[in-house]
């Protein structure tokens, strides 16, 4: 991979052009050859695609003009950040899909009326604790507890080398079944091995936590942390 140093005319490049993919890592900008993977068809991905298809159909055929206008206004009032940190405005459909995708993650029914507020908290710094046992333990905790209408959602990455810090897109959902308002620590001793296999001393475990409001689908800022598995 070639590193790139930008000039005063161009200071960043992302995504792909032709056979080259532009990205940014800890040590700067890079480009690499584009590799087209086999299109995955896991049950999870099939479910997500089916949900977005369903939401698109509902947007077009079931939502009223007033509801669609409300989602458009909501999107305009809440810009998102793109990969460069620039603010972008989602379409009304994209906002409708985004919030309902979050609600689906925590097993809450689709909402067609745009919420009045997207207020939601964040866990702040998170603390991890483990022991390979016996008994085996693995818990995740947030500095700020979720509100009464907020569900803690926990992601993790497969075990990494002890010196690796960058996780990127390796996070996978392992726990969205906590009741709203459930305070930490959250016990992940079953959920993590179910997804990634048994714990072993020396593994580097990475976790990410965010809260999702169970009436609006709004998600708060995520917090991450790592821990090296030990037998204490």
- pLDDT for 188-230, tens place per residue? 999 999 999 999 889 999 999 999 999 999 999 999 999 999 8
- pLDDT for 83-100, tens place per residue? 777 888 999 999 999 999
Query: Pick from 196, 78, 46, 188: which is nearest to 129 by CA?
Result: 188
- Quick check: 140 and 174 in contact, CB under 8 A? no
Residue 103 to residues 13, 23, 115, 155, 216: CA-CA distances in angstroms?
33, 31, 13, 16, 8
- Quick check: 105 and 86 in contact, CB under 8 A? no
User: 0.85 exceeded by the pTM?
Assistant: no
Q: What is the mean pLDDT of the chain?
A: 87
User: In the chain, where does the domain assigned CATH 2.60.40.10 lie?
Assistant: 126-228
CATH code 2.60.40.10 for 126-228? yes
């Amino acid at each position: 991979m070639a590193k790139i140093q930008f000039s005063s005319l161009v200071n960043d490049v992302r995504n792909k052009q032709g056979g080259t993919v532009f990205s940014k890592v800890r040590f700067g900008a890079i480009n690499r050859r584009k590799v087209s993977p086999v299109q995955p068809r896991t049950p999870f991905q099939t479910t997500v695609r089916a949900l977005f298809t369903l939401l698109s159909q509902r947007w077009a055929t079931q939502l009223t003009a007033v509801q669609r206008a409300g989602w458009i206004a909501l999107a305009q009032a809440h810009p998102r950040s793109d990969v460069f940190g620039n603010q972008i405005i989602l379409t009304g459909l994209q906002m409708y899909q985004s919030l309902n995708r979050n609600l689906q993650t925590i097993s809450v029914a689709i909402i067609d009326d745009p919420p009045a507020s997207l207020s939601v908290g964040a866990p702040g710094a998170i603390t991890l604790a483990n022991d390979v046992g016996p008994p085996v333990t693995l818990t995740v905790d947030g500095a700020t507890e979720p509100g009464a209408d907020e569900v803690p959602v926990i992601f993790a990455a497969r075990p990494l080398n002890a010196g690796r810090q960058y996780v990127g897109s390796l996070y996978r959902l392992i726990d969205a079944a906590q009741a709203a308002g459930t305070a930490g620590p959250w016990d992940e001793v079953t959920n993590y091995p179910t997804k990634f296999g048994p714990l072993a001393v020396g593994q580097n475990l990475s976790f990410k936590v965010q809260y999702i409001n169970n009436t609006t689908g709004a998600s708060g800022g995520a917090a991450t942390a790592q821990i090296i598995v030990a037998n204490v």
